[in-house]
Every structure is written in C-alpha cells, then in structure tokens.
Amino acid sequence: MASLQDYEVGAARKHVPWRTYMLLFSVLVVLKAPQSVLAKKDNLKEVTDGNWEDILTGEWMIEFFAPWCPACRQLQTVWGEFAEWGDDLGINIAKVDVTEQPGLSGRFIITSLPTIYHCKEGVFRRYQGPRTKDDFLSFIDEKKWQNIEPVSSWFGPSSFLMNTMSALFKLSMFIRHCHNYLTEQLGIPVWGSYVIFALATLFSGLILGLILVFVADFVFPSRRFQSNYYQRKQLSEQARLQHQLEDEQMADGEEEDEEDEDDEDETGSREDLWHKARGSSDGRPDAFADEALRRRVLATRQEEEEEDT
C-alpha cells in the first residue's frame, strides 16, 4: 500500500509542470484577446452628438447604420476590415448608430441606410460607389473623392439649417421616448398619450405666446403706460382745437377780404367805363372822346347847311 501511494504522489508531481504551463497559456490567451479587440475598436471610431465636431478636421470616412438594417449588417464586416487600413492611409474611419444619435441623423439628412460620407477638412461628399474593401481603399488611395461634388454649405452639418434640423430630430426622438414610457411603463392607452401631447402642445403654445407678448411690450412699450401720457394727450388735444379755431378765423377773414375786393372791383370797373366815356381819369379828354365830339359837330353843321339850302 505504501509503495502504491508513493507511486501516485510521484505521478502527480510529474503532471504538475504541465498543468502550470496550461494555466499560464490560458492566462496569456485571455490577456491577448482583449488587446486585439481594443485595437480593432480604436481603429473604428464612433461619432456621437457630443464629439461630431472632431470630423471637421482631418480626413474621415463615416458610415451611418442601424442595428436592424440587413444591408448594414452585411457591411459591418467589410467596414471593420477597411478600418484596419486607417492608420496606413492616414484617415479616420468611423461609424454612427442613427438609432442612438438622432441629432446626427437629422444633421446629415440620412434618408437611406447604410449611408457613407467622406469628409476632408470640413468638406463633405457622399460616397455612392461599390461597397467592398478594395473599392474603399482605391477611393482613398487614388483620391477618387475629388471627382464628387461636395455638399453645399447651406446643407453642411455645421450650418444653421442643419443645426435646426438636428434639434428637431432630437425633439422627435424625445417625444417618441415619452410616448413609449407613457404607453409601456405607465400603461396609458395610445389615445390617452395623444391627448396628453395635444394638451402639452397647446399649453406650450400659450406660454410661448405670452413670452412673445412680454418681449414685444418690453422692446416697444405701449404709450398708455408711459409717464404723463394722459397729460400730454390732453395738451395735444387742446393745441389741436386751438389750431383748428385759428384756421377757421383765418378762413373767415379771407372770405371777408375777398368780398371787399369784389366790391372794389365792381366800383372800379364802373368808374373805368365812365372815364372811358367821358375822358381820362386825370381830367384830360381822351382821344376817343375827342373824335366822337368832332363827328357830332360835323354832323350838326351838315344838317344846318342842308336846312339853309
């Protein structure tokens, strides 16, 4: 019995180094595996609403995808292999999950999935070529992106229009989360959720209208609330009435002057006619009047001579 126990102990001692080697090998494998995974994650960057401005500098290739999209799932393997060439090409390769980043979905107007953008120093171009690793590599290496027309500055992700669009997409996603919370967590019916959102919209509109009224009244205050408004209004009314009375008096005076002028014109015209008939205004006989007198004298002489004959 003693010899058998010694044999088993000796056999166990012989197997101890092999077990130790296997344990060390397993530990090394476990330590090496996370490092390779981390290296791949570092090569494939992830863009979010918080760090999207990083893509405005340098050169980037960005994929917009969704986990539920079958075409996006097929592209993930190729895109990961392409990301391993990022350091060699001097380019940043990233991805965006539109279900988690609705603001970026609205900022880039993503209407189909997957969508790929190329960015060079803030200038964006939409990639529409084949989706294989070799095509991606040639697109960057041969600079085929120069043949693509860039996105207009009006629709650039940093423009005011796209900032507004991003805010709207975020708001829509927030409303969707609230709707899901009301219907799934609190058990409120769908129509009840719609009623709540309708009342909230009406209430927010009223609040916004009041704020706009207050702002407008502060910028352009009403004259009724200014100091001495009624006193100034009364004085202006009195001045207006006095001015109106003066205008009426002046109008009456002008009418009287016109009547006097008309009377003087009538008397003057009569005197002129009489002077014309009798002579000039300074007492001297007018030439017309002398000629008439001569004709009358001649006529009377002729009549006297005819009576004598």
Both tokens of residue 114? 């997957």
Catalytic-labelled residue, pool 72, 75, 96, 119: 72
271 CB-near residues (< 8 Å, 6+ apart): 281
- 3-class secondary-structure state, position 60: strand
What is the spatial distance between Cα 103 and Cα 125, in angstroms, rounded to a whole number?
A: 19
Both tokens of residue 51? 């760090």
Q: What are phi and psi of 116, to 5 degrees?
A: -120, 130
Tell the residue number behind the tokens 């009576």, with chain if given.
307
8 A C-beta contact, residue 95 and residue 79: yes
Among 59, 46, 49, smallest CA distance to 157 is for 49
**Edge-first strand listing for the sheet containing 123-127:** 44-46, 92-97, 59-65, 115-120, 123-127
List, in sequence order, every residue forming a beta bridge with 92; answer none if it has no partner: 60
Catalytic-labelled residue, pool 56, 69, 78, 109: 69
Strand segments (E) across the chain: 44-46, 59-65, 92-97, 115-120, 123-127
Active site residue 119: no
What is the spatial distance between Cα 68 and Cα 79, in angstroms, rounded to a whole number?
A: 17
Could you tell me how far CA 128 lies from the centroid of its own chain? 30
Active site residue 178: no
8 A C-beta contact, residue 114 and residue 127: no
- Classify residue 119 as exposed, middle or buried by CB count within 10 Å of its CB (0-12, 13-18, 19+): buried
What is the spatial distance between Cα 47 and Cα 113, in angstroms, rounded to a whole number?
A: 16
Residues taking part in catalysis: 69, 72
